[in-house]
Structure 1
Amino acid sequence: MIEQDRIIKVNIDEEMKSSYIDYSMSVIVSRALPDVRDGFKPVHRRVLFGMNELGNNSDKPYKKSARIVGEVMGKFHPHGDSSIYGTLVRLAQPWAMRYPLVDGQGNFGSVDGDSPAAMRYTEARLRKIAEEMLVDINKDTVDFQLNFDDTLKEPVVLPTRIPNLLINGSSGIAVGMATNMPPHNLAEAVDATIAYIENNEIEISELIKYIKAPDFPTGGIIYGYAGVKEAFETGRGRVVVRSKVDIEVDDAGREKIVVNEIPYQVNKAELIKSVVALVEDKRVEGISHINDESDRDGMRIVIDIKRDANSNVVLNKLFKYTALQSSFSVNNIALVNGRPRMLNLKDLIRHFVDHRHEVVTRRTQFELSEAEKRAHLLEGFMIILDNLDEAIQIIRDSKTPEEARTRLMERFGLSDVQSRAIVEMRLRQLTGMEQDKLRAEYEEVMNLIERLKEILAKVELRMEIIKNELVEVKDKFGDKRRTEIVYASEEFNPEDFYSDDEMVITISHLGYIKRTALTEFRTQGRGGVGSKGSDSRDEDFIEYIYPASMHNTMLFFTQKGKCYWLKVYEIPEGSKNSKGRAIQNLLNIDADDKVNAFIRVKGLNDADYINNHYLIFCTKNGIIKKTSLEAYSRPRQNGVNAITIREDDQVIQVRLTNGDTHVVIANRNGRAIRFHESQVRTMGRTATGVRAMTLDEDGQDEVVGMICVPNNTKESVMVVSQKGYGKRTWLDEMDENGERILDENGTIVPVYRVTKRGGKGVKTMNITEKTGKLVSIKSVNDDNDLMIINKSGVVIRLKVADIRIMGRATQGVRLINLDKRNDEIASVCKVETEREEDTIEVNEAVEPGVNNEFNPEDNAMNNSGTENVSSEETEDNN
């Protein structure tokens, strides 16, 4: 019965909850989070205080780290030597602390993550900046508490003159919360603190002018300012830090990426291993060798780049996939009055200033108390000096010191403290010189008392003292920023990862797309058999080929009249013989829809450009529509309606114009119509359009293509038929010198006469059974090549200059030999010719659309947005 009475039954849920709360509060307050006033956790504070008590100051010899650890563990921190030594080591590491507080001698680890030597081998002492955090600690400036065994006292907080939490930061994981505070520049932190003292109502936006951003001990570059600003304003933010690198070129002309500084808290050895792993996994190509050439003079990681690689592209991939670029997640949680709080920049400065104000006030009170005590003694001395003979006689006549003290108190009205000091006074202090010194000291002490009382009476004087001490600290320890700031950059620009190489975009009949380097295609003579351009399924064949560069923006238009947007580098890369990837997997296209027209642009953010250029749509049934490019400058991910299409119609061509071009549209039966684009008024994005050409009523006729030719162009019209025949024809009559022929009235003599839209047009090719129906019309010149691909997947590239100019109504010449009887031409595309036959140098290729003369066939090239503004407009086809 007695044993049962000793057992107390408790609810296990309540006991666990209570115990865990006690444990978590202990971790939060006594281990993991720093105090906002001095920026220290208990272990840091105890290490510095223990070293100070040990006399291990900057002007004294080093002491063994084991001696320091033993002192701190035995007196203040009974939690094991490893935690104390780990703290001591970190306080001495210049790559871990922006302003190291311990001066270490020996092996204290390295930025490669090497472990420090055992504490019996290393030595340490305080640095001068650490002594500034301990100054005046014996002047009752801070509260003390009993240590773990109640035998000694330790400070609750240090009376630091330096905003340590700002300049050195802190990190720690508590229970249910964590802190991660970046270091800052001391000079900037002092300037911001002084600005706050001078104006307590200062906004964070004003403080940022003084303390610009974190300043990491390892340097680097802060890449983008939004995260910094957010952290200053809210206490939380993401600061992106990049390594500082240079691109060097050796004597052999090979490029090297040289890393001189890495982000804060990045392990250099692990960083190098990660780069090697990426190269081995072929995730980053273009690196031939990596070597660590760091020494005592600084960091130097050398990455050799292969001859055919682009160093900037490699570097940007390393930034993305390795710790060469990393982010510091700011989480400013610190203890305020023993409670964890999230703090912004102004809060951190305000709490430090409040702490310094309390320290200065308590120090002044302490000094006033000491001065008043001394003045009281000096008053007693001066009374005795004025009555020296009598006082000496009283002391001589007294039998004991106690009797002498009592008689002096009664005779001269002295206090107990004064009488004791007088009895214990040495005879030498009775000399005339010493008497003068005492009187001078009394006067000096009284002046001091008056000044100290004035300081205690006026807040302005106390704040001035704080400012002066901060300026003194700045003069002693201030230095320049190590971390640079790049304000205008935020997230990665995807274009940074791709060279702007020339590519060929290939789209098959069943909707498979790929990009292939233009250099994979070789030039062949006219009439050649061609080379295999794609391995496609029997029922599939290549239908569209289109030249573009990696940074181009592609606008895709479907036969149902929708517009989609992709960067060329977002299109999957494939070899010349690969099938590609289904467009439906890249764009949100309906199952019964497909892309059959596209343009490339490079300036959808340029308001002047997009408002002065137009998209002209042509449909299979001969409908044309003209809309400002601005209406398509902000496509959505799910596409936008580009044109309203009737049920039995579809978009076959889209062209970019400058508002002053001639439109030429050709049909299957070999006719073409030419009219100025002003014949088509500008309509809204969803308009239907108007009639461009009247088709034959045989039930099989349809429009095969459209070209838009600027005025005074010297380009010719290229038409190709189903069975491999083609020819070039001038748009206007030309002489032998390539100049337009004028009639007797000075008017240009057209080959294709200019008419109004909606007519039947004129013959552009003599269509026979041998030639087959017309399949393509292009605007070309002698600088172009033609890429012709048939339904069996064979592609041939030939020079346009090899095809002679012929009359408008002629049959043309054979361009490609079709091996199979039922084979037909599927698609024709023009590209810029290469400088030398059988070789194509990408860097020598003429980039279409960049020259000064506008070329609507080439389109233009720039970036685009991602939103859309719609304007509904419809028009009858008449």
Structure 2
Amino acid sequence: MARRKRPQSEDLFDVEEKILEVDAVQEMEGAFLEYAYSVIYSRALPDARDGLKPVQRRILYGMHELGLRPDRPHVKCSRVVGEVMGKYHPHGDTAIYDAMVRMAQPFTMRLPLVDGHGNFGSLDDGPAASRYTEARMAPAALLMTGSLDESTVDFVPNYDDQLFQPDVLPAAYPNLLVNGATGIAVGMATNMPPHNLVEVIGAARYLIAHPEADLEALMRFVPGPDLPLGGRIVGLDGIREAYETGRGSFKTRATARIENVTPRKKGIVVTDLPYLVGPEKVIEKVKQLAQSKKLQGISDIIDLTDRTKGLHLVIEIKTGFNPEAVLEQLYKLTPMEESFGINNVALVEGQPRTLGLRDLLGVYVDFRTDVVRRRTEHRLGKKKDRLHIVEGRLLAILDIDEVIQLIRSSDDAAEAKTRLMQVFDLSERQADDILAIPLRQLTKFSRIELESERDELQREIEALEAILADPQLLLKVVSDELAAVAAEHGTPRRTVLLESDGTGASSSAAGPTTGGKASGMDLEVADDPCWVLLSSTGLLARTASTDDEPLGTGGRRAKHDVITSSVRTTTRGHVGLLTTAGRVVSLSVVELPSLPPSADAPNLSGGAPLSAFVDLPPGEQVLGLCSLTGEGPGLALGTKHGVVKRVNPDYPAHRDSFEVISLKDGDSVVGAMELATGEEELVFITSDAQLLRFSSSLVRSQGRSGGGIAGIKLGAGAVVVGFAAVDTSAENVVVTVAGTSGSLPGTQTGSVKVTDLWAYPTKGRATGGVRCHRLLRGEDALVLGWAGAAPPRAASGNGVAVELPETNDKRDGSGMPAAAPIAAVG
């Protein structure tokens, strides 16, 4: 039993008689429950609506009140910490500053909320003290606090009931999914990875348009987490489980490649590490394992990381050791591969809940809809109040002489106000406003201004009332605002998602190599036939298929993306990447992730992006693939300025890249593909809707240094937007997309038309062609042209399929409105 003393103000000589006896177990349980409640609701768990913990929310609100916007100077972090601690967060300054630092770290947050100036730490080191660092709100923070002054959220008293603070921030984007969260409460914890802003908003908008959407539909937009520093996620089953149940796990793996660090020594170059793993942690672990002989084959590890090239670890391999085997051991024994356990626990209506992807999006959509509704009601009230004042002023100006006479004849302001209300039937607010009007606002011009303002207010009131009256219109406003946020603040995906690791079998040891084999492990990959595939979003992969055509073609459709190019080769061979600069870049096939054979099309989300294999200069893009065997009729190229070229397949051996055409200034390759027979037809499609087809036999082959010959005669200001070589024995179609000049493929919807290629007559080389698309009002150019074997498949910029219309028999007919912007056809 425990005994509780009475207050000291009572008689000190009668203490024993006033002692209260309580049960110790009950006292401890009560105290523990109060502590647990405080930790869960006031410290550790984020709110599912704005994705913020209380300390993060108070920091952003405190900076908002201080006016620390992105266009203002930075201020000392200690000032912000003091403001937040003194007014809103009754805890230590260390806890506040640590939370503030985390919101400013670009390697922790996918979309940082604080713009830090100074040493805010790294993956291996902590930040400087708050007195040395400065901060202000990041642009994304304005999205969190926007419209706070428009009654969008409830305000609650602070800890001492002296001030008010928002119970939740308006949050113009799903911050909980975008930036993730981590926290340890009492009896529960949360651990959520960051995601890509554009993908999350795409899923939220789809859920708004399709309230009954299932998880599969939403995962078309959000295939997996997108970590701030990139890296690779290996294995997607745990991600899908987490999206369904709220709990799951996935492995994050460092991005590494094997290359020659010296002419006689190979090394492993690491350019990305798993989420929240720093290079010092990896270096320390590697040295520890090497000294204890648990990891063999490493001669040195060098950290070449700098601000220019970012993370760059070079692990040198001893002579006689297999680099692939050493890399497998690094993944197995060091932090170069880490597991991330997803536990989506957040507060919903004040209660901790474990949420899947659909639940997280649903909670946010409902919350944001309520925010927009309350904001609309607030703005409607403001507009009506202003209209009330403007109408009163107009009444006064119409009878201004009588108003002035009435005021002059009144004894005081109170009598003048009363008489104005009686004579002109005005409200008290209107009468007060008229009495306060300066004489300079009583001119004819002021009347015109007031009438214009009245009409504008009436239109705005009608628009706001329409939003409140129509739930679908309200949801459209929410969706459009989300789209605007994605367009302004969205960035491309950084993390590569792999269905499997794409590496060879693992081993228990990495010993010296003998005849291409490591002890206990055969690292030789069989040189089997395969296909290399390139998708519209730039994903590369190889298949284990031995069919005459790659999986995903011949009427079968890729699950994730549109295949824009494919080439048959062998696993240990090389293929070439054809670029817009007229170059061929050699690529080792064995380095590509392998997709397992399937009766259905492969899931190209298991592929890897081009950037993981080749670094191209700004403005240079990959157009397609070609083999480097030196056999066959060679390549066919078409340029923006209408030049055509057939390239002899005399490719140089042992060169990483080489040119296949000499381009003039301002010109670039728009289409390049490998010829199979040399009897194909070449097709040009121009921006002024002209199409020319002619036999490839009309183009003589040239060496790699040749500049090509005239392919099509272009009209004034026109350029080539599509070039293809088609097999005349197949059923071929032409796909054209019209829009406005200057737009890029995939940025506007426009109109699309599908036509059989035979509808266009063949003509001679270097002629003008025939019209292939009638432009509609508002369209002045073709933005995309494609010709190839049927059936065609189209995709948007993020790889989502776009339905194409039925085949149009009229070669010069107009197109049909596209369901979504089309970025590629394959």
Task: State the TM-score, normalizing by the size of structure 2.
Answer: 0.60
Q: Which residue of 2 aligns with 1:95?
A: 107
Equivalences for residues 35-114 of structure 1 within 5 A = 35-112=47-124, 114=125
1:455 Cα deviation from its structure 2 partner: 0.7
Shift of 1:500: 10
Q: 1:145 aligns with which of 156, 161, 172?
A: 156
Partner residue in 2 for 1:876: none
| Contact 1:502–1:550 under 8 Å retained in 2 | no
What is the aligned partner in structure 2 of residue 185 from structure 1? 196
TM-superposed CA distance for 1:268, in Å, is 2.1
Aligned twin of 1:418: 430
Instruction: Note closer, same or farther for the CA distance 1:551–1:381 as it changes in structure 2 (3 Å cut).
Output: closer
TM-superposed CA distance for 1:494, in Å, is 3.2
Cα distance, 1:251 vs structure 2: 3.6
- Contact 2:372 2:478 (C-alpha < 8 Å) held by counterparts: yes
SS at match of 2:148: coil
Per-residue deviation, 1:231:
1.0
Aligned to 1:747: none
Q: CA deviation at 1:250?
A: 3.0
How far apart are the structure 2 equivalents of 1:450 and 1:132?
27
CA distance 1:27–1:549, shift in 2 (3 Å)? closer
Match of 2:336 among 316, 324, 328: 324
Bigger mean CA offset, 187-196 vs 267-276 = 267-276
Match in the other structure for 2:354: 342
Give the corresponding residue for 1:227. Answer: 238
Q: Report the equivalent of 1:258.
A: 269
1:612-653 Cα distance to aligned partner (Å, 9 max, x none): xxxxxxxxxxxxxxxxxxxxxxxxxxxxxxxxxxxxxxxxxx
Query: What is the letter of the counterpart of residue 179 of structure 1?
Result: T
**Which runs of 4 or more aligned residues in structure 1 lie more than 4 Å from their structure 2 counterparts after TM superposition?**
490-493, 495-503, 548-552
CA shift for structure 1 position 495: 4.2
Question: Aligned match of 2:36 in 24, 27, 44?
Answer: 24
Show the counterpart of 1:445.
Answer: 457
Displacement of 1:271 in angstroms is 1.6
Residue 602 of structure 1 aligns with which residue? none
Aligned pairs for 1:274-285 within 5 A? 274-285=285-296
Conserved? CA contact 1:34–1:335, under 8 Å: yes
Aligned partners of 2:36, 2:503: CA distance in 1, in Å? 37
Structure-2 separation of matches of 1:5 and 1:456 = 66
Shift of 1:5: 5.1
Q: Which moved more, 1:251-260 or 1:210-219?
A: 251-260
Q: How does 1:434-513 map onto structure 2 within 5 Å?
A: 434-489=446-501, 493-495=505-507
What is the distance in 2 between the residues matched to 1:357 and 1:496? Answer: 55
How far residue 490 of structure 1 moved from its aligned partner, in angstroms, is 9.1
Q: CA deviation at 1:329?
A: 0.4
Query: Does 2:283 match 1:272?
Result: yes
> What letter corresponds to residue 153 of structure 1 in structure 2?
F
1:28 partner amino acid: I
Distance 2:108 2:476 in 1: 33
Instruction: Give the whole-Å Cα distance in 1 for the aligned partners of 2:247 and 2:437.
Output: 64
User: Cα distance 1:241–1:496, how it changes in 2: closer, same or farther (>3 A)?
Assistant: farther
Please report how far the alpha carbon of residue 255 of structure 1 lies from its aligned counterpart in structure 2 after TM superposition.
0.6
Contact 2:320–2:513 (CA under 8 A) maintained in structure 1: no
- 2:736 corresponds in structure 1 to none
Q: 1:316 Cα deviation (Å)? A: 0.6
Cα offset, 1:499, TM superposition: 7.0
Q: Sequence identity, in percent?
A: 44
Question: Which AA in structure 1 matches 2:73?
Answer: P
Residue in structure 1 matched with residue 373 of structure 2 by the alignment: 361
Unaligned runs of 5+ in 1: 504-514, 518-547, 553-604, 607-878
Aligned to 2:142: 131
Q: Which amino acid aligns with 2:234?
A: Y
How far residue 488 of structure 1 moved from its aligned partner, in angstroms, is 3.0
Three-state SS of the structure 1 residue aligned to 2:422 is: helix
CA distance, structure 1, for counterparts of residue 513 and residue 155 of structure 2:
70
Please tell me whether the aligned partners of residues 56 and 62 of structure 1 are also in contact (alpha carbons under 8 angstroms): yes
Conserved? CA contact 1:313–1:498, under 8 Å: yes
Count of residue correspondences: 512
Equivalent in the alignment of 2:413:
401
CA contact (8 A) 2:296 2:511 kept: no
How far is the alpha carbon of 1:464 from its aligned partner? 0.6
1:487 Cα offset (Å): 1.2
Deviation at 1:436, TM superposition (A): 1.0
The 5 Å alignment of 1:411-810 reads: 411-489=423-501, 493-495=505-507
Cα displacement string for residues 575-603 of structure 1 (whole angstroms, at most 9, x for unaligned residues) = xxxxxxxxxxxxxxxxxxxxxxxxxxxxx
Distance 2:110 2:509 in 1: 33
2:133 pairs, out of 122, 127, 131, with: 122
> Relative contact order: is structure 1 or structure 2 higher (C-alpha 8 Å, sep ≥ 6)?
1
Cα offsets for 1:82-114 (capped at 9, x unmatched): 1111111111111111111111111111122x1
How far is the alpha carbon of 1:516 from its aligned partner?
A: 12
* Counterparts of 1:516 and 1:328, CA distance in 2: 31
Task: Give 1:124 shift.
Answer: 0.8
Contact 2:344 2:354 in 1 (8 A): yes
| Partner Cα separation in structure 2 for residue 259 and residue 432 of structure 1 | 74
In the alignment, the residues of structure 1 paired with residue 509 and residue 143 of structure 2 have an alpha-carbon distance, to the nearest angstrom, of 49
Is the contact made by 2:200 and 2:222 (CA closer than 8 Å) also made in structure 1? yes
The Cα of 1:492 is off from its aligned counterpart by: 9.2
CA distance in 1 between counterparts of 2:512 and 2:287 reads: 26
Establish whether residue 11 from structure 1 lines up as the match of residue 23 from structure 2: yes
Amino acid at match of 1:9: E
Q: How does 1:235-254 map to 2 (within 5 A)?
A: 235-254=246-265
Q: Which residue of the partner structure matches residue 662 of structure 1? A: none
Among candidates 293, 299, 307, match of residue 304 of structure 2:
293
SS at match of 1:494: coil
Q: Name the aligned partner's letter for residue 315 of structure 1.
A: L
The Cα shift of 1:75 comes to 1.2
CA-to-aligned-CA distance 1:742-768 (integer Å, 9 cap, x gap): xxxxxxxxxxxxxxxxxxxxxxxxxxx
How far the C-alpha of 1:551 sits from its partner, in A, is 8.2
Residue 138 of structure 1 aligns to a residue whose secondary structure is: helix
Asked if 2 retains the 8 angstrom alpha-carbon contact of 1:316 and 1:497, the reply is no
Q: SS at 1:376's partner residue?
A: helix
How far is 1:144 from its partner? 0.3
Gaps of 5+ in 2: 1-12, 525-543, 546-826
Distance in 2 between residues matched to 1:516 and 1:350, nearest whole Å: 52
Shift, 1:493, TM fit:
4.4
Say if 1:205 and 1:416 are closer, same or farther in 2 by CA, change over 3 A.
Answer: same
Residues 96-135 of structure 1: per-residue CA shift (max 9 Å, x gap): 11111111111111122x1211111111111111101111
1:43 aligns to what SS in structure 2?
helix
Do 2:321 and 2:512's aligned partners in 1 also have CA atoms closer than 8 Å? no
Check the 8 A contact 2:244/2:356 in 1, yes or no: yes
Deviations 1:56-93 (A, max 9, x none): 00011111111111111111112121111111111111
Q: Is the 8 A contact 2:321 2:513 kept in 1?
A: no
Query: What secondary structure, in the 3-state scheme, does the structure 1 residue paired with 2:362 have?
Result: helix
| Comparing 72-81 and 6-15, the one that deviates more | 6-15
AA partner of residue 161 (structure 2):
D
What is the match of residue 562 of structure 1? Answer: none
Equivalent position SS for 2:122: coil
Q: In structure 1, how many angstroms separate the alpha carbons of the residues matched to 2:182 and 2:415?
A: 64
Residues 1:125 and 1:492: Cα distance change in structure 2 (over 3 Å):
farther
Distance 2:258 2:521 in 1: 25
Distance 1:372 1:16 in 2: 57
TM-score, normalised to structure 1's length? 0.57
Tell me if 1:162 matches 2:134. no
The one-letter amino acid of 2:210's match is N
